[in-house]
Structure 1
Amino acid sequence: MTRPKSLSRFNIASLALGLAFLYLPILILVIYSFNASRLVTVWGGWSLRWYYELFNDGAMIEAFWMSLRVAATSACIATLLGTLAAVALSRGASFRGRTLFSGMLYAPLVMPEVITGLSLLLLFVALNAERGFWTVTTAHTTLTMCFVAVVVQSRLTSLDRSLEEAAMDLGCDPARAFLMVTLPLILPAIVAGWMLAFTLSLDDLVIASFTTGPGSETLPIRIYSEVRLGVKPEINAICTLVVAGIAVVIIIASLASKLSNRQGESAAPL
């Protein structure tokens, strides 16, 4: 009886097609960001022309920085609120209104973004709030908080509560036991939730288009408004820079995770 091969030709072909489907468009975008021709479908040689044009495009740069500010601010607020909500759901199993609270918290997960954006727009209009940076940040916080809560709650559910109880037996009050024992254990989940919230905010177009105002145009809105008139090579350049930035962040996070694991193994008793 022969043992089946771990990687057959079919598996290799399926893997190659899957990777090509995911990453070939990104690779083409990166290559054509160095295209000297103004036509994005005609190759005119290698050039950094469109990167120079991009850095001279004040509107695109301003939209990029606006997206970064909105994403960072909304991710921090969503991480704080989502973590607190996850703690309440995982530790308060029998409090009154738990079902209603969890249903309202997780509603943005299944609700279409068009409905979320329109409802937030009507809310801001009813409050006579000037649409701008804070309205977009509030909308993105509402969208991403539930994702943070899901990630952190899954970590809290699998956590051994006897460690926290042992800390309280040794004299810690519940708040200190949470800060000294539970928080370091769920910190990777909190960081993962922050990164997920940041990515979702940076990528959002629908909700931001409902809640933005003059002077608060985000990068996806700017790109969408320009693509409707035709794809400019500058768009390939800004997208390439975003992809490069995300790749650097992923590499740094991976190296930090490996370093943390090595330090943990070296500190473990033999």
Structure 2
Amino acid sequence: MMSNKMSLFLKIMLFAGLAFLYIPLIILVIYSFNDSKLVTVWGGFTTEWYGKLLKNDQILSAAWLSLKIAVTSSLAAVALGTLAGYALARIKRFRGNTLFAGMVSAPMVMPDVITGLSMLLLIMQVQMLLQGALGNDVAWLDRGFFTIFLGHTTLCMAYITVVIRSRLTELDQSLEEAAMDLGARPLKIFFVITLPLIAPAIASGFLLGVTLSLDDVVITSFLSGPGSATLPQVIFSKIRLGLDPQMNVLATIFIGVVGTLVIMMNYVMMRQATKREYEMAAAYKAEQKALEELSA
């Protein structure tokens, strides 16, 4: 009797949690088709705001810039985070291990204001040193795409390192040890065995990095310059003047794109997991058959 009550309680809590998370998103999607300029008053069904958004050059250019920064910074963060996570998970002890782990995790616990300010000061100092030493124009270090890319890569790398390190810690090392016993080199073991096994974690880390980059405002505010406003900055600047129905449309599009990507990634990872389990079962059956033939 007690178990039934607990089961009902857990179901209610699960439903309440999902409702708390997704009902606001559903309302937002519904009001993206609102005919009224007042986003809180329903005035009928229309797709007018979708057409206006597609003609809004400011929002489209900001969205394109944010997307480019998110993808490039996430790819760089995945590469660096994978190396850092592998070093922390596989190389148990080395000089400076504690310091390295703390420095990698620092951007996660550091306030974004401190991270953005420190990155800005560092970039300005490097720019001054290069100009003094080389005497060349270093306009590529001016605040804009590249500086935002550096800041977002630093932020995303910390989170991706934790994801990759956790996956490597849970990974069974028997396959890697068997490959080493058979004479495989460490680099080949990493690309042939380790990398495919941590591929789901890498994909998850990449999606997490894209989300963090698209969502960041504080660090971007320090590192952006004229003509390099990202989408969150444009949204916040418009909200100060009042809610715009086009923001509902923009959010709806992002929900659709992100939801589609998540479903596709989950589908691909589930297929890979099923295929891997099938191959392992087939190998086990082949091994059992060979043993039976030898015993016969």
Return the TM-score normalized by structure 1: 0.94
Query: 1:149 corresponds to which residue?
Result: 161
By how many angstroms is 1:65 displaced?
0.7
Instruction: Count how many residue pairs are aligned between Structure 1 and Structure 2.
Output: 269
CA distance in 2, matches of 1:185, 1:250: 19
One-letter identity of the residue aligned with 1:89: L
CA distance in 1, matches of 2:232, 2:14: 31
1:109 is paired with a residue whose SS is: helix
Structure 1 residues 1-270: aligned runs within 5 Å: 2=1, 4-5=3-4, 10-128=9-127, 129-267=141-279, 268-269=281-282, 270=285
CA distance in 2, matches of 1:199, 1:98: 29
Name the CA shift for 1:98/1:265 in 2 (closer, same or farther; >3 Å).
closer
Name the CA shift for 1:10/1:262 in 2 (closer, same or farther; >3 Å).
closer
1:244 is paired with a residue whose SS is: helix
Q: In 1, are the aligned partners of 2:160 and 2:205 still within 8 Å (CA)?
A: yes
By how many angstroms is 1:195 displaced?
1.2
Name the CA shift for 1:108/1:221 in 2 (closer, same or farther; >3 Å).
same
Name the CA shift for 1:67/1:6 in 2 (closer, same or farther; >3 Å).
farther
CA distance in 1, matches of 2:38, 2:68: 32
Percent of pairs identical after alignment?
A: 50
One-letter identity of the residue aligned with 1:140: H
By how many angstroms is 1:43 displaced?
1.0
By how many angstroms is 1:6 displaced?
6.2
Gapped runs of 5+ residues in structure 2?
A: 128-140, 286-296
CA distance in 2, matches of 1:185, 1:15: 31
Compute the RMSD of aligned alpha carbons.
1.6
1:5-63 CA distance string (max 9 Å, x none): 16655444433332222112111111111001111122110000100110010000011
1:164-209 CA distance string (max 9 Å, x none): 1211221211111221111111111111111111111111111111
By how many angstroms is 1:81 displaced?
0.3
By how many angstroms is 1:4 displaced?
2.5
1:118 is paired with a residue whose SS is: helix
CA distance in 2, matches of 1:12, 1:154: 30
2:4 is paired with a residue whose SS is: coil
1:53 is paired with a residue whose SS is: helix
CA distance in 2, matches of 1:262, 1:12: 29
Name the CA shift for 1:45/1:109 in 2 (closer, same or farther; >3 Å).
same
CA distance in 2, matches of 1:6, 1:195: 38
CA distance in 1, matches of 2:46, 2:78: 41
CA distance in 2, matches of 1:86, 1:261: 22
CA distance in 1, matches of 2:192, 2:30: 49
Q: Specify the structure having the higher radius of gyration (Cα).
A: 2
CA distance in 1, matches of 2:150, 2:58: 23
Name the CA shift for 1:259/1:91 in 2 (closer, same or farther; >3 Å).
closer
CA distance in 1, matches of 2:175, 2:32: 53
